[in-house]
Amino acid sequence: MLEGSILKRLVDSQAESDTTPLNYGVYYKNTLVALCHALEDCILTAGTAPLVITAFQRGKWYLQEADRYGAIADKAQQIVIMACPEAGFQDHPTSQRDNVALIDLTDDDPVAQEWHLMILAPDYTAMVLCQELSPADYGKVGLPQQDLERKFYGFWTFEPALVSQTVDLAIDHIGSYDPALQTQLAAQLARLKQQNPSLPCAEAAVVNHTVSQVVHYLQTSRQGLRGNLAFSLVEDLDQNLVSNEVQAFLRMAQLVDLSDPHNPLAAREVVALLEMMGQLLDLPAWQLQRLRLAGMLYRIAPVPDSTTLISDGPSCPLVPEVQTLRLMPRLRAVATIIAHQGEWWDGSGYPAGLAGDAIPLESRMLGLVAEFQHRVAERRRQTPTDRHLDLLAEALATCQGEVGQRWDPKLVEILALLVMGLQQGMSLPTIPTKITLGAGLLSSDLAIPDTGLTSSQLLPS
């Protein structure tokens, strides 16, 4: 990372704190274009006017987006565009808008090698923060011949605290060019924080819509690659886009955990327990793989009840959040696992009223483990520290009391074995989510339903 760049400054500040490590990845330019367009589109529907700061590298890249940014300026409180100046850069009508400011970067400014999009509003935050690979980073293959095959290193996120911290760094950098603008931006940022000091995660509906947009743009970009012989790295580009489709869902799930101060480790602990249970059941590697992904994503679709379902005929109502997952064909089997986590062993659950072994095994496992983890977390929050060793047994006892009604008896027996092992320590194991490895969680096997359900019982694809 280049010294003095916004990305490097953020990374250095994170190293000095106890925050969750950033999930870095390598992105092709076509991936970043699709991501940015999706995140920008949500400005047009946001309830409040955001502060938007971008870095386009060179003015010609801004010119390609200038008309689009005219529409965004209609909604934004302030837009700042950083780029090295080029002919026509300053003359476009969008650049003349009162709430659009241009910063002409010098060629030796490390930010001139970065690609940034920061969106900060009380009800919506999003960010892309990347730096282009150097010629040395490309190695023997050399610099790409096609512009969209250029690579960038960094990450993207919806996390409000991270976006706010990066905006602070960007405003500080802008101050070296335009102190008056720095003062103006600092005041605007202060007012945004005053409107909502905690800058909470966006509402589920907003994030759900944003993720749908991200997946739509990425899939459209993938379709544009097919049959295009101009690109020498079509397969790599396609894989990069697929990876970011998975990342979009994982980041949505991460926001759910971030917004829950009482149970912020839910997904990590559920994944760890599912893997342990799956190993005791001797499940094949492909099944463990998709079970792990279901554990990462299960909180984006809370256990449904009759008030949250959309009727789609008599066989099986739809869970709205799960339908978002179905936008990606490779996640449809995972969506089925998550959708049926609310089924009960006696057939009185939701959404399809399945009973016994008719409930997909992974759904039975996920439902039991997620509820057990939730009960442990509730007791952990309410119980003095010196009694934490008793929490696992207490939560297990409540599950054992529901055997045959809500839970599969065999799975509860296996859970009891896990608890016996876990009682040697004071907390559940956690496995950090490596979001940027999203594509590695997918394989063709993941798409195999293997649920034992008939087509009428499965949620429609």
Query: In this predicted model, what pLDDT tens digit does every residue of 413-458 receive, in sequence order?
Result: 999 988 888 877 645 555 555 444 443 444 434 433 333 332 222 2
Q: Kindly report the pTM of this predicted structure.
A: 0.69
Same domain, 297 and 439: yes
Domain ends where: 144, 173, 200?
Answer: 200
Are residue 169 and residue 277 in the same domain, yes or no?
no
Q: Lowest-pLDDT range, 212-216, 231-235, 273-277?
A: 231-235
279 with 186, same domain?
no
Number of folded domains in the chain?
2
Per mean pLDDT, which range of 229-233, 246-250, 377-381 is the poorest? 229-233
Task: Check residue 204 and give its pLDDT.
Answer: 56
Question: What's the mean pLDDT in 365-375?
Answer: 95
pLDDT at position 192: 85
What is the extent of the structural domain holding 120?
Answer: 6-200
pLDDT surpassing 90 at residue 51: yes
Section 41-61 average pLDDT:
85
Residues 190 and 334 in one domain: no
In this structure, is the dihedral angle defined by the CA atoms of residues 279, 284, 289 and 292, taken in order, positive or negative?
A: negative
In a domain, 277, yes or no: yes
- What is the distance between the alpha carbons of residues 178 and 170, in angstroms, rounded to a whole number? 12
Together in a domain, 29 and 112 = yes
For residue 454, the model assigns a pLDDT of 29
Range among 48-52, 203-207, 427-431 with highest mean pLDDT value? 48-52
Query: What end-to-end distance do the CA atoms of the chain give, in Å?
Result: 43
**Whether residue 397 is found in the same domain as residue 308:** yes
pLDDT at 236 over 80: no
Give the model's pLDDT for residue 38.
84
Percent of the chain clearing pLDDT 70 (strictly above)? 73
**Which residue in 429, 409, 408 sits closest to 418, CA to CA?**
429
Say whether both 92 and 190 belong to one domain: yes
Domain co-membership, 321 together with 186: no
Domain CATH code at residue 136: 3.30.870
Tokens of 202: 């966006």
| Neighbouring residues of 424: CB distance < 8 A, sequence distance ≥ 6 | none
Strand partners, 102: 81
Q: Which of 200, 231, 254 is the last residue in one of the domains?
A: 200
Q: Which of 40-44, 171-175, 429-433 has the lowest mean pLDDT?
A: 429-433
Is residue 212 situated within a structural domain? no
Residue 359 has a pLDDT of 96
The answer to whether position 247 is within a domain reads: no
Domain assignment of residue 241, yes or no: no
Alpha carbon distance 192, 122 (integer Å): 6
What's the whole-number mean pLDDT along residues 63-86? 91
CATH number of residue 302's parent domain:
1.10.3210.10
Q: Tell me whether residue 227 is in a domain.
A: no
Shared-domain flag, residues 186 and 70: yes
Q: pLDDT averaged over the chain?
A: 78
Task: State whether 132 and 25 are in the same domain.
Answer: yes
The verdict on residue 222 lying in a domain is no
Report d(CA 52, CA 78) in Å as an integer: 6
Cis preceding-peptide flag for 351 (omega within 30 of 0): yes
Domain contains 396: yes
Judged by average pLDDT, the poorest of 10-19, 276-285, 300-309 is: 300-309
Question: Is 184 in the same domain as 277?
Answer: no
Q: Which of 174, 200, 226 is the last residue of a domain?
A: 200
Residue 438 in any domain: the answer is yes
Q: What is the mean pLDDT of residues 392-402?
A: 93
Confidence tier at 53 by pLDDT (50, 70, 90): very high
226 to 28, 96, 233, 260, 340: CA distances (angstroms) = 16, 39, 11, 41, 35
60-73, pLDDT tens digit by residue?
Answer: 887 888 888 999 99
Residue 341 has pLDDT above 50, yes or no: yes
Asked whether residue 195 falls in the same domain as residue 296, the answer is no
Considering only CA atoms, which of 315, 247, 314, 306 is closest in space to residue 458? 315
